Structure 1
Amino acid sequence: MLMLNKTDLSPASFILDGVPGLEDTHLWVSFPFCSMYVVAMVGNCGLLYLICCDDSLHKPMFYFLALLSLTDLVMCSSTIPKALCIFWFHLKEIGFEECLVQMFFIHTFTGMESGVLMLMALDRYIAICYPLRYSTILTNPVIAKVGLATFLRGVLLIIPFIFLTKRLPYCRGHVIPHTYCDHMSVAKLSCGNVKVNAIYGLLVALLIGGFDILCITVSYTMILRAVVSLSSADARQKAFSTCTAHICAIVFSYSPAFFSFFSHRFGSHTIPPSCHIIVANVYLLLPPTMNPIVYGVKTKQIRDCVIRILSSSKDTKSHGIS
């Protein structure tokens, strides 16, 4: 199945091994993965539909939420369908070029997810600290520009991963102990020097994750100061309640990311590989699954929009029956 080019030792294909150590339970592992993926697809597509069709949601906060939903859809769709093919049909082979494309989409849109969460923190900062200038600061052209800049940041920082991975000679086998083509999981199959890959990967993590977390922290520090300074307890509660959904989204996104990052570096000998793989998948699945639920429950405008749609559909049915 593996064919090597004698000049550069680039494989024609890899084998994605799924979750090592849990091969006998792949079918059971697939059920929560599939359920979460269905919820993520339905929830994010539903959010996009609401934001697109309801004029009351044509506001900066919801434009950023639509961008987050688009990012979530691409992020989980780049991995889960292939993982389910591995679990259900044992279709483990993936072409070398296809593997690189998957790697690009995974890392670009995880970086995009982090960037959009940072933009949403800045949005809440402006809304709470500069409410009178909110609509003049966050105009539609500004939102389009910062969204494009966030996407281009991910693309430009992740493209070198592809070239760094492609240049490596692969002579340590062709089986990747993972459900998708993660950068370092692929690089570890090389018999060449992967130090540059590791250093650049850490640099990208700092440039994207470190910068975004710093901006989010500063934004919420300023928000907290502004909220505490409000004289009315009701005003404080109302101001901070607009941030609860976003705080939940940050927790769902960064918690599995931090666990995966630190366990790889400090707990690689004590934590089983199967746990690493499952957490890596949860990292890509949990935010797309939970974000629509959290924003649907916590955001009054979205709840009101859903209630209007449901009530109008009931009225239509009752008129049809009568």
Structure 2
Amino acid sequence: MTSLYVSDAIHTHVLAQLREIGEVHLGYGPSATPYAAVQDRVDAVMLRAEQFTADKIEASPRLKIIARHGVGTDNVDIHAATRSGVWVTVTPGSNARSVAEHVFALTLALARRIPAAAAGTAAGQWSAIKPGLTGFELHGRTLGLFGFGRIAFLTAEIARGFGMPVLVCDPYVAPEFVRQYGAELVAFDELITQSDVLSLHAPLTAATKRIIDADAIARMRPGTVLINTARGALIDEAAVLLALESGHLGGAALDVIEGESADMQDPLPHSDGITARNGHLDNLIVTPHVGGQTTQSLLAAGTQALQCIQQVLTGGTPQHAVNHPASAA
């Protein structure tokens, strides 16, 4: 019998379709099955947050595909998968709109001081807290986008509805392409010095790691708002905290933290500086990597991942593969 492993919660419709293919082992919930308990018989994995290391892959003789339920592959040892003849696939575009909307949910929460307003009201205050809750309008404020992939395209479109000029920094796109979205392509220095809201959308590479450091922050306009829904290590978390505490940054909202690179399922101990101050700094919001987590995006990502699994299990080549195992040549 075909055996499948699902690491984290997925859309119920997708789970039902997986159960039509074979026996499904769930790595989550009250009766979770650890992967190690079934690794000797699993044919396919639908993967969200769990780390898939070389040890797990090499201990899985029947494994044919790791279908990522998302676009990142930080938690998969792709080289080990390729050596072992295992496909690795992703679900491009499946959560782009969800993340773009989350960018603005976070931006508006900071601009209108919603967490502080809600907390104060819940504590029984009303008039006493209102003088300290004056926010700002997004209309006329400049949005800077570092990176210009699918999520950033949609973010730029939403920004136009708010009446925000948009600047883009991305060395891999042409000015003409950026202008199609009503935005202007600029160099990095202009992006960070001219943006009122800076939103990060770049992949994590050697060149982009901690690109938002103390020097970059010092060059930003006083009161700039920083949004990160991409990868935690794009920013220097300690430098961001100092700038929030000094007031140089008007706010920061992070849906990702650097500790995820160590442990995607429980990253908090690895980013204790940021997480310890979440809730204590009223200009800091940290959410647990839920930008792409909507009903619609879970269905879209799960459906794409399911299709890749079906393609491999029937002897085909999967769409959206990020590797090409030698045994599949």
Task: Confirm or deny a common fold (TM above 0.5).
Answer: no
Give the structure-2-normalised TM-score: 0.23
More strand per residue: 2
Give the structure-1-normalised TM-score: 0.23
More helix per residue: 1
- By relative contact order (CA 8 Å, sep 6+), the higher-ranking structure is 1
